[in-house]
Amino acid sequence: MILPIYLYGSEVLRKVAEPVDPEEREDIVRLVADMKETLKKSEGCGLAAPQVGVSKRLLIVDGRDMVDVYPYLKDFVRVMINPEVIAESGKKAEYSEGCLSIPNVYCDVVRPESITVEYLNEDFEKVTETFDKFACRMVQHEMSHLDGDLFIDHVAPIRKKIISRKLAGIQAGKVAVRYLSKIK
């Protein structure tokens, strides 16, 4: 089922998400399937559960549609349950980021160049994996959502001032998107 993507101004985007309890497995399996369908329909490369109104520590990243620019992402799809960064590089990288919850806004954001994450996969198996390049960026961006943090929180104050009108428009519902969305 395609779920609505919550837009900037929705309270759920600013909450710290609750850990997934393994006892919730059946509900989480259904949510993962819905999130995959929602992500594909929205043509995004990542989606965190809070973006679909569920305050749980769950995310999906899918880089397969970006192989034109990043060929190494041809098989890159991850479902991450309760992800936790256990190490990060001291070296930083800057990329332009956008977000399905903040449509038509793009900003350069500096984040660690590589991270190591411990998480449960779709089968609830523990995985430890190191990410770099754009895969690292996608994972960090989505993990930020789990802490109520948006990419615009990491931009220079002058940049935030420049985008403030767009943000106000999104919050007021004055934005056109090609996917199911809502503000609450």
Give the span between the Cα atoms of 179 and 83, in whole angstroms. 27
Residue 43 carries which DSSP code? T
Sign of CA dihedral 154, 167, 133, 63: positive
- Distances, alpha carbon 51 to alpha carbons 65, 70, 96, 150, 151, in Å: 20, 25, 20, 11, 13
> Residues near 99 by Cβ (< 8 Å), separated by ≥ 6?
105, 141, 150, 151
Active-site hit among 37, 43, 125, 142? 142
Annotated catalytic residue 142:
yes
Instruction: Enumerate the active-site residues.
Output: 142
